[in-house]
Amino acid sequence: MAVRLLHLLGSPVLRQRAARVDRVDADVRQLVDDLFETMRAAKGVGLAANQVGIAQRVAVVDIGEEDPGPLVLINPMIVHGSEDTEAAEEGCLSIPEIFGEVTRPKRVVIEALDREGQPWRAEVAGYKARAVQHEIDHLDGVLFLDHLSAVKRSLLVAKWKKARKGKTGYVKEVTPEPAGEL
């Protein structure tokens, strides 16, 4: 397993529509494992393949629940979204330090393949439903910023550009903090 480089806002792969996975083979399983490792190193709750520079429809979500555990989303589809919506603050590992309130359906029914290539279907709600929708958006080249008003979005993009001033490139190494460090 390996922690991969994170792609940040400005990297073209974040705007690509990821390709469907034809076959869940060893490379795809490796990608799943690396997404989990990179997400955990970065202290995120979800990560999509675009964010590590790979435009394939693979993502992971782990909001810290033990049962059911982490979700592997290969070729995920939202087959139903509730009419009830909820607004809550979201951030993204590809846009560090930037947060915005996004309105999304409270509950969604999803279908996807797991790490073994087996189809599964589940209804998820609340924070998990939000995380799943955020990750599936990534696979379509959509970022949480796109759900905000034009005014709010340009404010946040300006803030992002200011924070990035002097920095070059659109990839970042994730350096896990050593365990036990204060």
Scanning 8-16, 71-79, 87-95, 163-171 for contacts with Ni ion by CB under 5 A, the matching segment is 87-95
Q: Which of 65, 66, 90, 135 is catalytic?
A: 135
Q: Which is nearer to Ni ion, 28 or 100 (CB)?
A: 100
Rule CB under 5 A: is residue 110 a binding residue for Ni ion?
Answer: no
The DSSP symbol for 14 reads G
Size of residue set near Ni ion by CB under 5 A = 1
Is 135 a catalytic site residue?
Answer: yes
**Could you tell me the smallest distance in angstroms from the CB atom of residue 138 to Ni ion?**
6
Q: Report the alpha-carbon distance of residue 138 to residue 85 in Å, rounded.
A: 20
Q: Which is nearer to Ni ion, 3 or 66 (CB)?
A: 3
Helices (H), the chain: 26-41, 126-139, 150-163
Instruction: Write phi, then psi, for 75 (nearest 5 degrees).
Output: 50, 50
Q: Report the alpha-carbon distance of residue 56 to residue 75 in Å, rounded.
A: 8
Q: Report the alpha-carbon distance of residue 74 to residue 150 in Å, rounded.
A: 31
Scanning 90-98, 116-124, 157-165, 170-178 for contacts with Ni ion by CB under 5 A, the matching segment is 90-98
Rule CB under 5 A: is residue 92 a binding residue for Ni ion?
Answer: yes
Q: Which is nearer to Ni ion, 103 or 118 (CB)?
A: 103
Residue 182 CB coordination number (10 Å):
2
Contact positions vs Ni ion (CB under 5 A): 92
